[in-house]
Amino acid sequence: METRKKKNFLNKHKMMSGAKITDILLNPNYVENYIKYALQEDEGDLKATDKGSEVAGKHARNSAIDLQMKKLIEHLYSLKFKLEKEKKAQEKEKKSSPSAQSGVKEKGKIINSQKKVTLLQNEQGKFPKRISANNKLCRKCQERGASVTSPVPQLIETIEIYKNRNAEEQRNKIYLIEKYENMLRNIKKRHLNEINEIKNNILMDVDFLIQKYRNISLELLQISKEKEKEKVYEKEKITEICINACNKFEEDVKKRAKESMQGHEARMVKVINDTKREKEDLEKKIALWKKKSNEEKTTNEKRMSDIFEKKIKEEHALNEELKSRISEEQEQQNGLIKSLYSKVDSQIKTYEENIVRVFHSILLKNGIEMDLSELSQMVKEEMDDVYGDGNRGTRNMKVISTKKDTFLFA
């Protein structure tokens, strides 16, 4: 079942190796050389990804390493399946070869038995055909009257000697053939055993490498997940720091504005009380002067009327002068309030710029590269998202100042 799943996986991805089994058997370090070559081949892609931004580079590096690991695992699987196929084919040949070998052995046995029979017949001197031929020849010679009985036994002896020598040579030849056949069989068996042992070792190495690179890929995935979690945590921490700093800054601004407004209100109340007191004193003086004028009216009405008119004019001028002074003081106070608001706004802007610079330095220390303008824009957007309009506090201050001005003029 496992081999079927692996075959289906390889057929889906269509990544079959082009390596020959002879290369793998002749080169024991073939797998290591292939892995080194594949790693060097993908180094260029990794260096090209490092030239970009760090975040994008890291993602590209992780994806390139995953792709490289997949390629190596698929290549090792293909080698493994090739070796398994060849091993199965050799096992089939082995299974089929004993029958053929048994047939060859039987044929050899039959031939050897026939040869042994002939040799035994030669040793025993059973040559019916040759003897019959010699007898015929002797008869013919006897009929002719020739004395040929003496060379015939010599010929028979020489023939037997040659036959024995030939039989001995045949025996030696058969012995040598069997000896070398056995040697070849043993060499072939040893060679097949060595090939099977090498294949088994390669399959074990391939399984080990597959497991190793699978574990490496899992570790890399775990590391990338942990880095992403750290980035998310750092981002949340930075946003929390920004929000806390903005809240603190807003509280400080509100507190300072409240204190300044309370001080200005106390000053304005004091000025109003002083003017009221002066007015009451003037009214008392006018009443006294009127009383005196009525008492002295009978004696020096005309002179006193002139004097009182003159004094009234002076008092009127003095009142006008007081009113103008009060209006000038109100304008000065309004100018002071406006200058205070402008100072507060400038302080707010400088404080925001300082916050942005501090955050920029913190990000640089943590290894996060970001432009100052981009960071200020992000802080502004976060402030707008959290608090709405950033100028709401200044608008409220302006509304309060206008209400106070109307109260003073009233």
pLDDT digits (tens, 9 = 90+) for 1-26: 445 544 454 444 434 444 444 454 44
* Cβ atoms of 159 and 129 closer than 8 Å: no
For 135-151, what is the mean pLDDT? 47
The pLDDT value given to residue 14: 39
Q: Which token pair is 239? A: 């946003």
To the nearest whole number, what is the mean pLDDT of the chain? 70
Q: How far are the Cα atoms of 74, 292, 377 from residue 64, in angstroms, in the given order?
A: 15, 109, 34
- Those residues with Cβ within 8 angstroms of residue 394's Cβ, 6 or more apart along the chain or in another chain: 341, 344, 345
Q: pLDDT grade, residue 29 (50/70/90)?
A: low
Q: pLDDT grade, residue 401 (50/70/90)?
A: very low
Tokens 């890399």, residue?
220
- Those residues with Cβ within 8 angstroms of residue 359's Cβ, 6 or more apart along the chain or in another chain: 238, 241, 242, 375, 379
Query: Closest by alpha carbon to 246, among 401, 378, 369?
Result: 378
Using the predicted structure, report yes or no on whether residue 36 has a pLDDT greater than 70: no
| DSSP code for 28 | T
DSSP character string of 345-373: HHHHHHHHHHHHHHHHHHHHHTT----HH
Task: Return d(Cα 337, Cα 333) in angstroms, integer.
Answer: 6
Tokens 């699978």, residue?
214
Q: Which token pair is 144? A: 């002719």
* Cβ atoms of 69 and 216 closer than 8 Å: yes
Q: Would the CA dihedral through 8, 9, 12, 16 be positive or negative? A: negative
The pLDDT value given to residue 40: 53
CB burial readout 306-325, b (16+ within 10 A) else e: eebeebeeeeeeeeeeeeee
In the chain, the percentage of residues whose pLDDT exceeds 70 is: 61
pLDDT one-digit tens code per residue, 153-205: 666 777 778 778 888 888 888 888 888 888 888 888 888 888 888 878 888 88
3-8 contact pairs (CB < 8 A, 24+): 3/81, 3/84, 6/77, 6/80, 6/81, 7/81
pLDDT one-digit tens code per residue, 72-98: 667 667 777 777 787 788 777 777 765
For 330-343, what is the mean pLDDT? 86
Q: Residue 224 burial by CB count (10 A; 0-12/13-18/19+): exposed, middle or buried? A: middle
Using the predicted structure, report yes or no on whether residue 54 has a pLDDT greater than 60: no
Q: pLDDT grade, residue 116 (50/70/90)?
A: low
Using the predicted structure, report yes or no on whether residue 137 has a pLDDT greater than 50: no
